[in-house]
Chain A
Amino acid sequence: MSRDGIAGLAVLAASLVLFVLTLDLQDSPMVPVGPGFYPRIVLGLTALLSLGLVISDCLAQRQRRSEPPVAVATAVAAKERLNYPLVAISFGVFALYCIALPGLGFRIATFAYVVASNAVLAPPRGLKGWAGSVTLGLLTAFITWLVFERYLSVLLPRGRWTQF
C-alpha cells in the first residue's frame, strides 16, 4: 500500500471514531434536527470518500505490480534528498516557543525563538555570526512589540513567570 492508502485508512479510522461519538449527542430543544445531524452527514461522507481512496490505491497497486518497477525506482533516485531532520528541529523549536510564550512573555520568548531558529537554519560562524543572530532576535522582538502594543493597540502576551 502506498502513501495514499495509508492516508485513506487514517482518515477512515478517524471519521468512524468521530461518527460513533456523535451518537451520544442529545437533541436540541429548539432545532428539529439535533447537533449531531450535520456531523453525521460529513463524517459518513468522509468515511465513504476515504474508503474510495483506499480501494483505488489498492487497484492502482495491482496495476503497478504488473508493470516493470524501473520507472519508479529511477524517479525516486532522481528526487533530491530532503533534509527532514532540519524540518523536525524547526518544528520542535517552534513548539517550544508556543509552550514558553505564556510563561516567558512575548519579548523574551520571541528573542530566544528567533535566535534559536535562525541558528538552526543557518548555523552562525564565529562571533560575528552570533552577533547577527542576536541582533535579529532583539530587533524582531522589540520592533514587533513596539509596533503592535504602542501603535496598533494589539496586546501581546506578558510572561506569567517574568511579569514582562
Chain B
Amino acid sequence: MFELLGAGIVNVLQFKYLIPLFVGTLIGVVGGALPGITITMTIIVVLPFTFGLEPLQGLSAMIGVYVGGETGGLITSCLLGIPGKPSAVATTFDGFPMAKKGEPGRALWLGIWASIFGGLLGAVFLVATTGPLARIALQFGPWEFFSLFVLALSMVAGLVEASLAKGLVAGALGMIVTILGNDPVMGQKRLTLGIPMLEGGIDFLPVLIGVFAFAQIMSEVERMGGAHKAIDAVQRGVSLAVSHLKIILEIVSRPLLLLWSTFIGLAIGVLPAIGGSAANMLAYDQAKKFSRHPEKFGTGTPEGIIASEASNNANVAGSLVTIMAFGIPGDAVTAVMLGALTIHGIQSGPLFIVQNATLAYGMFAAYIVAHALVLAILLVGVRWMLRIVEIPKATLFPVVLVLCTIGAYALSNTMSNVYVLLVFGLFGYAMVKFGFPLAPFILGVILGDQIEINLIRAIMTDANPWLFLTRPISGSLLVLSVASLAFAIWQHYRQRARVATEVEADF
C-alpha cells in the first residue's frame, strides 16, 4: 500500500500534475480567503477547467482547491475577523482577538500549522482506511447499496437542520428531480411534463452548480447596496513574522487536543454531506469543554485556533474516504468531484481503488503534496492575500456565474444544461428563503438514480422483498437509518425547550 503511495507521489510530482495541483491550491487559498466565496463555489468555478484535462490532472486541481480553501479561510478569519467560509467560523473566535492583541503572525501561523498537522494526520487515515473499506463495500450487493444510500439520506436529513421534516422533504425533492425524464434502467420516458428537454433526464451537476452558486451569491446580493460595515481589520503595516519552530512546538505540545480535533474532523468528514462547517464548531466546542481554562476561550487562546483549523483540514480527508470507498459524497465539494469523475467516465465506489489504482493513489498523493504547496504559497504570499480580499463582490460575482455557465454548458455541449442551471438557481434560492437545507436535496439528486437502479436490481435478482432486512449488512444499515431518524426526533424535542434560532444555511 505504501509503495503504491510512494509511486503516487512520484507520479504527482511530475510537472503535468504538479502544475494543475499548484494552480488549484493557489485558487483554493484565494477562494477560501475571499469572504462570501465558499470552497464549494471555488470548486464549481474550477470544474469546467478540468473537462479538458486528464482525470488525475483535473482531480489534482480539485483536491488542491479543497485543501487550499480549508487553509486559506483562516487568513481572513484571523486578520479581518470575517470567516472566509463557514468552516473557518470557529477560527475567528480566538484568531481575531489574538491578532488584535498584537500577535497577528502568531494567530495566523498557529492556524496554518494546525491545518497542516490536521491534514497530514488525516492523510494517514485516508490512505490506511480507504482500501479496507472498499474491500468491505465490494461484498455489497444491490440490497446493501440501496440500504446504504437510504442511510446516507436519512442521516443527512436528520443531522443538518433543526427541523427533521424539512430535511426529509428536501431529500425527497432531490429524489423527485431524478425521476423526471426517463427511467435509469430501460430509458423509458416518464414524467417529461411535455418538455422535450427533459427526455434525457436531468444531470446532477448543473443542478448542484445552480443550487449552490445562486443560493450563495444571491444571499450576498441581498445584503449589497446598503451601508457597508467598516471592517475592524488588523493594520496592514503590522509584522506577520514569527518563529515557526516556536509555533510548531506550541501545537505539538498539545497532542491530545490536536488528535481529538483531527478525529472530530475525520468523523464529520466520513459522514455523508456534512461539511467542515459542522466540524470546526464541534471541535472548538469540545476543546473548550476539555480545557482547564475554558474562560480564556474567545479571548485569543491558541487552543481555539488549533482545534478549529486541525478539524477542518482533517474533514477533507474524511470526505475523500467516503467518496472513494462508497461513491457517496462527504459534502458538496466532493459531490462536484464525483461529477468530475463521472465526466471522465470513472465510477467511484468500492472498485474504484482497485480498478483505478494509479488514479486513487495519485489522489492520495495530491492530497499530501497539496499541504506542502499550501505552506509554500503562504510562506511567500500571505501578505498579498489581504489585498486580494479587497476585490469587490460586484466584480467577482459576474465572473463566477460566467464560469458556472461554462461548467453547465460544457458538460454535454448543450444549452439545456444552462437552462437547468437557471431553473435550479431560482429553486435553490427559494429553498434557502423557505428555510430548507440544501445538503439533503443535493444528496437526493445524486443518489436518486442509484437508489432506483439498486432497488430494481434487487427485485430482479430475487423477488423476496424481506431480503432488504434479512441480509445482515443491508438489515443493519436500515436499522441504523431508522435509529438516526429517531435520534433526530429526540434531539428535536430536546431543543424545543430552547429558543428556536435561525440557522445560517450550510453551504
A contacts, CB < 8 Å to B: 3-4, 6-8, 11, 14-15, 18, 21-22, 25-26, 28, 30-33, 35-39, 42-43, 45-46, 49-50, 52-53, 56, 80-84, 86-87, 90-91, 94-95, 97-98, 101-102, 110, 113-114, 117-118, 121-122, 136, 140, 144, 147-148, 151-157
Contact = CB atoms under 8 A, between A and B. Distances in A.
6 residue pairs, one from A and one from B, having the closest CB atoms: A152-B52, A122-B394, A121-B394, A35-B183, A117-B398, A46-B172
Contacts of B226: 80-81, 83
Nearest to A30: B186
Interface of B: 48-49, 51-53, 163, 165-166, 168-169, 172-173, 175-176, 179, 182-183, 185-186, 188, 190-191, 193, 214, 217-218, 221-226, 392-395, 397-399, 401-403, 405-406, 409-410, 413, 415, 418-419, 421-422, 425-426, 429, 433-436, 448, 451-452, 455-456, 459-460, 463
Given A80-B226, A83-B225, A95-B422, A56 B459 contact: no
B415 A157 contact: yes
B419 A148 contact: no
Contacts of B409: 101, 156-157
Contact of A98 (B223, B413, B418): B418
Nearest to A12: B169
A56 B165 contact: yes
Nearest to B415: A102
Contact of B410 (A25, A31, A155): A155
Contacts of A113: 398, 402
Given A7-B434, A30-B186, A144-B403, A122 B392 contact: yes
A57 B399 CA distance: 40
Given A35-B188, A83-B225, A121-B393, A155 B413 contact: yes
A14 B264 CA distance: 40
B179 A101 contact: no
Nearest to A37: B456
A144 B51 CA distance: 14
Contact of B397 (A42, A121, A151): A121
A147 B49 contact: yes
A113 to B, nearest CB: 7
A39 B169 contact: no
A113 B435 CA distance: 30
A58 to B, nearest CB: 12
Nearest to A46: B172
From DSSP, what is the main secondary structure of chain A's interface residues? helix
Nearest to B175: A42
B223 A80 contact: yes
Contacts, number: 181
B111 to A, nearest CB: 29
Contacts of B436: 7
Contact of B456 (A26, A33, A86): A33
A36 to B, nearest CB: 7
B374 to A, nearest CB: 24
B402 A31 contact: no
B88 to A, nearest CB: 22
Given A95-B422, A117-B398, A154-B51, A86 B222 contact: yes
Contacts of A38: 179, 183, 451-452, 455-456
Contact of A151 (B52, B218, B405, B413): B52
A79 B351 CA distance: 50
Contacts of B434: 3-4, 6-7
B199 to A, nearest CB: 13
Given A7-B436, A121-B397, A52 B165 contact: yes
A39 B179 CA distance: 6
Contacts of B463: 32
B491 to A, nearest CB: 16
Contacts of B419: 98
B52 A114 contact: no
A80 B229 CA distance: 12
A33 B459 CA distance: 8
Given A4-B434, A83-B223, A140 B183 contact: no
Nearest to B455: A38
Contacts of B51: 152, 154
A8 B169 contact: yes
Nearest to A29: B186
A152 B343 CA distance: 14
Contacts of B415: 98, 101-102, 157
Contacts of B392: 122
A136 B406 CA distance: 17
B190 A154 contact: no
Contact of B52 (A30, A33, A154): A154
A39 B191 contact: yes
Contacts of A87: 218, 221-222, 429
Contacts of A26: 188
Contacts of A39: 179, 190-191
A94 B401 contact: yes
A46 B176 contact: yes
Contacts of B166: 4, 53
Given A83-B226, A118-B398, A154 B410 contact: yes
Contacts of A81: 226
B52 A90 contact: no
From B163, B193, B409, name the one whose CB has the most chain A CB atoms within 10 angstroms.
B409
B418 to A, nearest CB: 5
Contact of A53 (B169, B175, B191, B406): B169
Contacts of B169: 7-8, 11, 46, 49-50, 53
